[in-house]
Amino acid sequence: MTWPEIIFNRLNLSLQVKTIIVDHIGLLDDLAFTNYLTGQGFKWDLAQDVQNILYAFKIAQLVIVPHTVELPDYLKKQVSLIHFDIQKLPFEIDPAILENLSKEQLETLTEYANDTGLMQLVSKANYKKYLANTERHCWQKELRELETIILRQCQSAKSYNDLLNIGKLWGRFIYLNYQLDQSPNPKVLNETDQITEILVLNHVVRNAFYESSANLKTVDKIIPHIKSRHPQKVALVCFDAMGVAEWHLLKQYLKSSGFQFNKKMLFALIPTMTRISRSAIFYGNAEQVYHLNSPNEDKAFTEIFSDYTVRSFREGELSSEEQLLGIDAVKVIYNVFDDLAHKTILPPMETTKHLYFKNVLNYLAKSSIKDELQLLINEGFKVWLCSDHGSVVARGNGQKIDKYLIEASSKRATIIEKSDLAEFYDVNQYEIPFGQGKIVLLAKGRTCFSTKNKTEITHGGITLDELIVPFIEVEN
């Protein structure tokens, strides 16, 4: 059961009786609970005083009020009065500990206690242990649900929108496996990789490039989308190699800042490498980048925002308000994910990115990224976060095609002119939609063009880890 369902059952509510719930804990105004009430057929309202209670009952049958409201006797006689207090929780807890729990901690502890039949008093001596157990329990519960949903969606996936939806779930799935320090369920991994390969190689994804910038599905539409919003001051912040799972790491790091996010999943360009996909972001074009000999992102960004005063930064360069005086459009590049992915040395036979994720979180904790984003927001910039591609753990397939690689750190794919050359390699082939005779040679499965059985984190291919990236609007 979810915590709203647990609390709902303990309150023993009736549709036939007008009811006031006095919330002594401060939990029932949560959207999750009020949405559950709606789903059960209740017309509800929140009220802060007696006058608002009387007004609320004209349209609602259930009114939730804080415990600070003094209810007159005549009103108590006209309605059913329920007190939601410490006695209504499905576990015993020291009141002093209850006061110090966040709403989120109380919600998850409620689920944990109900699911496990917790009988012991939650006290000062043990509450930290229970909170740790609670967090792990909730991750396990969510992961089981995700596995079921992903497998079901893989069975019916036919469109690029289906693939984007699975990609969003997949990133969370990988992140939860990291939190639980376990390898992904091989059945889920194999079926997800299989359907992704089928849809991509059958060119289902290429139709996503024809979507409008208002309904963007691909990274090349990011800047047109932003410009259509007509922000007075804009900051486009690109985290190279931030897949959806990596986004969850970044969000974990940013959590204490109180940022709010609106997120959307997009397709990177294929091959999923910086020179192609990140260039597409800043050129705002999915065709031109396949023909560039030497991309100049700063110049392209400046030309697109020609009606703005533009400045570009890298990590650590943005430190004061003075640097932003008179600036209307800012481009920021962070290489933390890409750099650490290529620098992390994996043990033999390792199949997860857990060690890399730990390195990322350790780096972020000591970085200035949070302060730099806060500075942009404080200076009135509308901030968007984006990425050009993700990464994957790949095992060397022993094939050597280094002389054709256009990016040495991207060992999963290479672009060549369409010819019979491709037949000499055990690869998948992807014809670039805008490539005018160019094709991509893709290492099969989760392998890379490297020394046989050598394991490393790289990119360029078409797994969801590499192909689906987040586009995040930061709410001020």
Q: Is 212 exposed, middle or buried (0-12, 13-18, 19+ CB in 10 A)?
A: exposed
End-to-end CA distance of the chain: 34
Helices marked H in 284-328 — which ranges? 297-304
Residues 105 and 166 in one domain: no
- Whether residue 21 is predicted with pLDDT greater than 70 in this model: the reply is yes
* Range 97-107 burial, b when 16+ CB lie within 10 A, else e: bbeebeeebbb
- Whether residue 437 is predicted with pLDDT greater than 90 in this model: the reply is no
Mean pLDDT of 276-304: 94
CB contact at 8 A, 78 and 19: no
Which band of pLDDT confidence, cut at 50, 70 and 90, is reported for residue 66? very high
Answer whether residue 285 is part of any domain: yes
Residues 275 and 358 in one domain: yes
Residues 240 and 362 in one domain: yes
CB contact at 8 A, 278 and 222: no
Residues 70 and 129 in one domain: yes
Instruction: Tell me which of 260 and 400 has the higher pLDDT.
Output: 260
Answer whether residue 317 is part of any domain: yes
Residues 307 and 328 in one domain: yes
Answer whether residue 319 is part of any domain: yes
Q: Which among 134, 150, 178 is the end of a domain? A: 134
Residue 56: give the domain boundaries: 3-134
Q: How far apart are the C-alpha atoms of 70 and 66, rounded to whole Å?
A: 9
Answer whether residue 56 is part of any domain: yes
Q: How far apart are the C-alpha atoms of 28 and 10, rounded to whole Å?
A: 13
Answer whether residue 228 is part of any domain: yes
Answer whether residue 443 is part of any domain: no
- pLDDT tens per residue, range 105-119: 999 999 999 999 998
Percent of the chain with pLDDT over 90: 89
Q: At what angle do helices 354-366 and 244-254 cross, to 10 degrees?
A: 30
Instruction: Tell me which of 405 and 89 has the higher pLDDT.
Output: 89
Write phi, then psi, for 15 (nearest 5 degrees): -70, -20
CB contact at 8 A, 278 and 235: no
Whether the model pTM is above 0.75:
yes
Residues 114 and 182 in one domain: no
Residues 351 and 372 in one domain: yes
Sign of the torsion formed by the C-alpha atoms of 94, 99, 104 and 110: positive
CB contact at 8 A, 473 and 426: no
State residue 417's pLDDT score.
82
Residues in contact with 261: Cβ distance below 8 Å, sequence separation at least 6, in sequence order: 251, 472, 473, 474, 475
**CB neighbours of residue 228 within 10 Å:** 13
Amino acid symbol at 448: C
Answer whether residue 213 is part of any domain: no
CB contact at 8 A, 297 and 282: yes
Instruction: Tell me which of 384 and 16 has the higher pLDDT.
Output: 384
State residue 46's pLDDT score.
96
Residues 313 and 352 in one domain: yes
State residue 366's pLDDT score.
96
Residues 345 and 285 in one domain: yes
**The domain spanning residue 364 has which CATH number?**
3.40.720.10
> Residue 432 has which token pair?
């670039």
- Whether residue 193 is predicted with pLDDT greater than 70 in this model: the reply is yes
Residue 463 gets which letter from DSSP? Answer: S
Which band of pLDDT confidence, cut at 50, 70 and 90, is reported for residue 435? low
- Whether residue 456 is predicted with pLDDT greater than 70 in this model: the reply is yes
Residues 120 and 163 in one domain: no
Residues 228 and 261 in one domain: yes
Residues 349 and 471 in one domain: yes
- Whether residue 393 is predicted with pLDDT greater than 80 in this model: the reply is yes
Answer whether residue 386 is part of any domain: yes
Q: What is the DSSP code string of 266-280? A: EEPPSS--IIIIIHH
State residue 409's pLDDT score.
76
Percent of the chain with pLDDT over 70: 99
Give the total number of structural domains in the chain. Answer: 3
- pLDDT tens per residue, range 398-413: 988 877 777 777 899 9
Radius of gyration of the chain (CA): 26
State residue 207's pLDDT score.
92
Q: Which among 81, 106, 134 is the end of a domain? A: 134
Which band of pLDDT confidence, cut at 50, 70 and 90, is reported for residue 422? low
The residue with tokens 């967090």 is: 135
State residue 400's pLDDT score.
81
